[in-house]
Amino acid sequence: MQMNVNQLPSRLVLASSSPRRRELVGALRLPIPIEVLATDTDETVGPELNPEMIVAELSLRKAIAAAQQISTEPHPSYRTLVLGGDTIVVLDGEVLGKPLDAEDARQTLRRLSGRVHEVYSGVSLLFVPESDQGAQAQLTQLAAPVFFVGDGVGKSGVVLDGTRKPTLLPDGADKFAPNLDGVAINRVPVWGAEELLGDIGRWRVAAADSSPLAATGYTRSEVRFRELSDEEITAYVATGDPLDKAGSYGVQGLGSVLIEKIEGDFYSVMGLPLALLYQMLLPFGVSPLRHGIER
């Protein structure tokens, strides 16, 4: 499946204010301009979502929120590919979000010390074509896929009271039937078969009329911390580095000295799985390994 050359994206919009994700997207040297559009997205999720579902769900919410903002743009309009991402750290079935304060960061690092935890990163792409009026196409409805059903965890820092209807609704024992108010491109998209990224990730593409409209996927990595002393934890937290990061650490820079071993994908742990993103970009006709794209 390949996008028609007359419909190829003319820009990529990153739905994130994260400087790390902006840096990583830039590292791919994509042949189209990259813009940043931060979104205010509800990250409340219910306990029926497992980690894979959480990151796929939230990455897609961010892409949708950005696409909805883009849909109001005046002339000139662009064929836009929107990128959303989300990363969570999971220990003992609990999602470790960003620390509330320095003491919370210290407590989290003590829990991670000498142990293995999981890092899940979700990526979603959403194609928003130009319209005759200069605004982007109307957004109606897109059914979003996810891949597994397992023990439920919730995004930390929120109260899971069951009042928010999740995007991904249970439908049987082995799948989720998504119900997403807000996105489609005036056509009913159909999700294709699951694609595998080795043994660390999965992704799927939704298409209508043989043209890709969206893609969603995730990766899973394992990180082992070495045994940390209280002095090291206190000193690291004092730098301020962990205070804006899920799990209270960053794999890049100073935080790397806390880590003994990574099994999976380094860039996934950093916040954006580039190998997965590369595979997901190809159906949209975007590749850093081509000399140019016909338009």
The torsion defined by the Cα of 146, 266, 264 and 111, in degrees rounded to 10, comes to -90
Instruction: Indicate the pairing of strand 80-91 with strand 11-14.
Output: parallel
CB 280 within 8 A of CB 196: no
In a 13 Å sphere around the CA of 236, the CA atoms on its Cβ side amount to: 26
Number of Cβ atoms within 10 Å of the Cβ of 59: 28
Active-site position among 40, 42, 86, 244: 86
Among 154, 222, 212, 143, which residue's Cα sits nearest to residue 183? 143
Catalytic residue list contains 151 = no
Number of Cβ atoms within 10 Å of the Cβ of 188: 13
Residues in contact with 172: Cβ distance below 8 Å, sequence separation at least 6, in sequence order = none
CB 251 within 8 A of CB 132: no
Is residue 259 classed exposed, middle or buried when 0-12, 13-18 and 19+ CB atoms within 10 A define those classes?
A: middle
| Residues marked as catalytic | 86
